[in-house]
Chain A
Amino acid sequence: MQNLRSLLPILVFTALYAALSLSVTNSYYQLVMTLVPVWAVFGLSWNLLSGYTGLISFGHAAFFGIGAYTTALGQIYFDLSPWMLIPIAAMLGGIAGFLIGFPTFRLSGHYFALAMLAYPLAILYVFEWLGFQEVTLPIKRDNPIAYMQFSDPRLYTLLALAMMLGTILLTRVIEKSRFGMALLAIKQNEAAAEAAGINTLAWKLRAITLSGAIAGAIGGFYAVVLLVVTPQSVFGMLVSAQALTVAMFGGVGTVWGPVIGSVILIPLAETLNAEAGSRFPGIQGVIFGLAIISVILVAPEGLFWKLRDFLRKRVTSPAAATPSAPVQPAAAIASRSRPERPKGAGEVVLEVRNLSRSFGGLKAVQNVSFKLRRNEILGIIGPNGAGKTTLFNLLNGFLRPGTGEILLDGRDMSGRKPHELCEAGIGRTFQIMRPFLRMSISDNVVVGAYVRARTDAEAKQLATEAITRVGLSDIADRIAGELTTKELRLMELARALAGQPRILLLDETLAGLGHDEANEVVTVIQRLARDGMTIAIIEHTMQAMVRLVDSFLVLDHGAVIVEGEPEAVTRDSRVIEAYLGKRWMAHAPN
C-alpha cells in the first residue's frame, strides 16, 4: 500500500506525459518528446551506479554506444529487428559493465572517474578503426513495424516512455531493497559499509552491470530514433556528459533527478537551438551552459533535493519548533561504579597472537597479544599514534596483518575481508562518524542489519530491535542530518548492533560528547555488556573508562606496555609516564 502510494506521482507523470505526447502533431516536437525520456533513461542508468554509490562515471557512453552499435550492426549484417536487438544490446551493455567494473573498482574517487572516462574514448577509436565511421539503419519499406520503423513518431515516444517507466520502477525497487541500501552505504563510506558486513565489490559490480544494461538498451533504442550511428554521436564525450548533466541538474541519487533534468534541459536546448540559434548561431551553447552553471550554484545537489528541502522545511517547521522529547527515557543515570560481573571466567572469544603491522619503517603495531573473553569490556588506551585504531583496523579486516594471528572462536581470521569478519560477528564503530545524512535513523540502521537478515522484513526487525537497545526508538524516523552528536553516536552503535555481532569494536565512541551525554552513552554500553556483548573500546575519557571497563590494554609505539585491571593499570608508573601524565595522580578517582 505504502509502495503504491509512493509510485503514484510517477504513474501520474507518465500518464500525463503520454497524453501530452499524443496531442502533439508537429513532428519536430514529437522528436523532442521522444528524446526527453531517452536521455532520462540514460541519466537513470548513470544514477543507478554513480548517484547511489557516489562513484562518478564519466564513461557511460561506453555502454550507450555499445547498445547503439548493436542495434545498427545487428540490423545491417544479420537483418535482425530492433525488437530483438534492444534486449541483446542490454545484455551486451551489462557484460561490458561487468568487464569494465571488475578492474576499475580497484580505484576510487577521482581515479575511478578518470579511468571510466577512458573506456568510451578507447572504444570510439576501435569502432573507427573497424571502419564504422558512419552506419545507417536501412529503411524497411516492406515491413516497417517489425523493424520498429513507425510512420507515426508518437509511437517512439510511447516506447521511450515505457522504457523510462520500467527503469524508474526498477530503480525504485532497488532503492527500497538491500541492494539500494548497500549502494547508499558505499556512497557514504565504503569502509564503513564493508565493516557493516556489505560485500562492496559484489554490490558495485551488480550496480554497474545493471547500469550498463539499461544504458545499452536505451543506446539501442536511440540508434532506432537517430537512424545514423557514428562513433562520435554515441561514444563521444558529449554523450557521457549528457548523462551527468541531466542527473546532476535534476538531482543525484533519486529517480526524479534524471527525469526532472531531462524534462527541463532537453526541450530547453532544442528551443535555444531553434529560437536563439537561428538568430545568433552559437549563442544557444552559451545560454545553456550559463543555465546549468547557475542551477548548480544554487542547488548543488540538483533541483529535486533543493525543492524537497524547501517543501520539507515549510511543512515541518511548526513541528520542529516543539522541543524534542527527552531522548533517553530508557537510560538510567550512569551508575557510579562498575557493575559487578564475573571476571576472567568467560571463555575466550577473540585471541590475538603476536600481531604486527608496519607501514614502511613505522611499526604501527608490534607483537600485540591479548585475549578477549565473553562478556568482557576491554579498554584500549594509549597516547595519540600508539596504534589503537590500526589495531582495530587489523581486527576488522581493513588492514592485513604483517605477522600474527587473529583467532575468532579458535579459527584464524587474519587477512579476511571486513565484510567477512562482520559476518563472523565482529561489528565496529568509527572515530569519525559517517552517518547517511539524508536517511532516517531506521534506514541508517537497516544497512547494518543486512549482514544477518535474509529478507528485507527481517532486516527491519533487527534494526528496530537495535534502535530500541540504544534508546532511540522515539526518534527513529528523524533524518540523520538533524541529530545531535550523541544521537549520532548512538545511531552508529545501533547500526553496528543491527548486524548482531558478538564482539563490538568501539572507536572513541565518547569523543565530542559533554559529561552528561557521555554518561548516557556509557549507560547504554554497560547495558549491552550486561546483556552478554563482548566489547573492545578505544577511549581517551579516562573518567568514563575506569568505570566502564573490566581490564585495560595500554599501547605505546604500537606495543603493549601494560595489561590488567583498571586499578592496577592507572597506578602503573609506565602508564602514567606514557599516557596519563603526572596530573592524573592528583585527580585520580579513589
Chain B
Amino acid sequence: MSQQNNKTSKTSLTRRTVLSGAAAMGLSTIARAQAPAEVKVGLIVPLSGIYTRPGQVMRMGAEMGIEHINAQGGIKSLGGAKLKLVVIDCGDTTEKAKNAAQRMVAQETDLVAATGSYLSSFTLAVTEVTERAELPMLTLSYSDLLTERGFKYIFQTAAPASRQSELGLPELMKLAEKASGKRPKTVAMLMDNTATSVATAKALKEKIFAQEGLQLILEEVWTPPLSDATPLIQKVRSARPDLLLFMPNAVSDAKLGLEKINEFGLGQGKIPTVSFSITIAEPDMLQSVSPEVVQGIMTIVANWGSKGHEDLIAELKAKYKEPWMTQNVISTYGDMWLMKLALEKAGKADRRAVAEAFRTMDGGPSKHYPGGQLKFDEKGRRVGAGVVVVQWQSGVPVTVYPPDLAQAAPFWPKKSS
C-alpha cells in the first residue's frame, strides 16, 4: 500500500515538474501575474467516527479528480493554475459538521468551492454555514430538504430522494414485465427510519405505488441498528409479495436482512429484492456475505461507476484497491471537474464568481453523473438528474440501467414457486 503511494506520488511529482517546467518557459508568465498558482477547493467529509469509510472513499474520488485536472493543464482561464484539495473532517455528529464547516470558511478563506458531507444531516448543517459565507457547495446528498431552503450557494448533483424512486421504480417494473412476462402486483416494504428512507417511502406511498398499480401488502420500519431481522423476514414470507423493497442504510443492517432472507429460502430471486441506497452495494457487503446471497439484488442509486468510466474504475482498483466505483467516488470525482468548469467560466478564483458560474453554466450532457445536463435550476438542483439501477451479478454490483451507461444486461430473478 505504502509502496503504491510512493510510486504514485513520484509519478505525479514528475508530472508536476514537467508542467512547472513548461510554465517556467514563459507560457504563463503574464497570466501568473494576475492569477494564483493554485486554487483551493474544499472536501468536507466524515473522516472520523462511524461514517469514516464513505468519507475516505469520497476523498479518493476527489484526489483522482484533482490529479487528472492538474495533469491536463489545470485551470486554463487562470493561466494553468493548479487545483489544491483542502480536506476537512466533519466528524460523526451534526454539531461537529457545523463546527468543521465554520472552521473551513474561517480558516481557509481562499477556498472557491467545496463538496462533500455524505450524510444529508451533515450537509444540512454544513450548508447553513457555507450559505452565509457565500461559498458554493456541491453535494451528492440527495435529501429534498437541502435544496428547498431557498439557498443560493448549494448545488445538488444527484436527483433528490423523492425523484429517485419516481425515476427508478417504473424502470424496474418494465424490466420485470419484460423478463418474467408479468407485472408485479404486490409489494412489501422494509425500511429503516433514517431521513432518506422516510423521504423515499413517502414518495412511493403517496404516488408511485398507485401509478404503477402496486399494492402495498406489508410495511415494516426499524430503527438502526437492526438487532434481529427474523420477525421482519417472517412477515415477508407469510405475505409473499411479488416485490420486496428492502431499504437499509447501514451495512450491518443490510447484511442481517439479506442473510435472513436467504435463510428463509426467499433469496436468489424467490422474491425479487430491490433497495434504494448504495449501502447494499458497498464493497463491505462482501466481507460479511457470500456473492450468492446478494446475487440478483438490485438497487436504485443516484450515481455509479458505469460504461465510459472503465479507465477510472481501473485506476481506482490499482491505486486504492477498491473493487468497484460507488456513487461516493464517481460523484466526488465529477464534482472536481464541475468546479474546474465553473472556474474556467468565472475566469477568476473568487467564490462568488464561481457560484455565479454554477448558476449560469450550461455544460451540456454530463459525463460523471447519470442523465441530464451540467446545469442547475433556480433551487440548485441539477437539471434532468437521473438515476442508475445497479444489480449484483457474480459478486459485483454492475450498472444495468440506463442503457447508455449499462455495463451488463439486467436479469429478472425467476420466481421459482
Seen from chain A, the residues whose Cβ lies within 8 Å of a Cβ on chain B are 26-29, 31-32, 35, 125, 128-129, 131, 133-134, 136, 138-139, 226-228, 230, 232-233, 236, 238, 270, 273-274, 277-278, 281-285
Contact = CB atoms under 8 A, between A and B. Distances in A.
B99 interface: yes
Given A226-B125, A228-B124, A278-B87, A273 B99 contact: yes
Contacts of B133: 27
A27 B103 CA distance: 8
10 contacts: A28-B106, A134-B195, A226-B125, A228-B98, A228-B125, A233-B95, A281-B48, A281-B52, A282-B49, A283-B48
B102 A134 contact: no
Interface stretch (B143-151, B265-273, B315-323, B405-413): B143-151
Given A134-B120, A136-B145, A233-B94, A282 B88 contact: no
B89 A139 contact: no
Contacts of B91: 273, 277
Contacts of B100: 273
Contact of B145 (A134, A139, A277, A284): A134
Given A31-B99, A134-B195, 15 more contacts: A26-B106, A27-B102, A27-B106, A31-B98, A128-B223, A133-B121, A227-B98, A228-B124, A233-B121, A273-B100, A274-B107, A277-B47, A281-B47, A281-B52, A281-B89
Contacts of B89: 273, 277-278, 281
Contacts of B47: 277, 281-282
B88 A230 contact: no
Contacts of B149: 136, 138-139
Contacts of B175: none
Contacts of A134: 120-121, 124, 143, 145, 195
B94 A232 contact: yes
A587 B194 CA distance: 81
Given A277-B48, A278-B88, A133 B195 contact: yes
B198 A133 contact: yes
A274 B44 CA distance: 12
B37 interface: no
Given A26-B107, A281-B48, A139 B99 contact: no
B379 to A, nearest CB: 14
B105 interface: yes
Contact of B150 (A125, A139, A228): A139
Nearest to B104: A28
A169 B45 CA distance: 41
B93 interface: yes
Nearest to B96: A273
A25 B380 CA distance: 31
A273 B198 CA distance: 32
B198 A131 contact: yes
A274 B94 contact: no
Given A233-B93, A273-B100, A227 B106 contact: no
Contact of A238 (B88, B93, B106, B124): B93
Contacts of A285: 48-49
Contacts of B96: 273
Interface string B246-285: 0000000000000000000000000000000000000000
B404 interface: no
A28 B102 contact: yes
B410 to A, nearest CB: 32
Given A26-B106, A27-B102, A27-B106, A228 B94 contact: yes
A67 to B, nearest CB: 15
A457 B177 CA distance: 87
B94 A226 contact: yes
A285 B48 CA distance: 9
Given A27-B102, A27-B106, A233-B94, A227 B87 contact: no
Contacts of A273: 89, 91, 96, 99-100, 103
A90 B103 CA distance: 31
Interface in B66-92: 87-89, 91
Nearest to B202: A131
Contacts of A230: 94, 121, 195
A62 B195 CA distance: 21
B28 interface: no
A305 to B, nearest CB: 29
Contacts of B194: 133
Nearest to A121: B223
Given A136-B128, A226-B125, A232 B198 contact: no
B128 A227 contact: yes
B193 interface: yes
B193 A133 contact: yes
B305 to A, nearest CB: 25
Contacts of A26: 106-107
Contact of B98 (A125, A226, A232, A238): A226
A125 B192 CA distance: 12
B63 to A, nearest CB: 15
Contacts of B94: 226, 228, 230, 232-233
Contacts of A270: 99, 103
A516 to B, nearest CB: 63
Contacts of B223: 125, 128
B131 interface: yes
B300 to A, nearest CB: 20
A129 B221 CA distance: 9
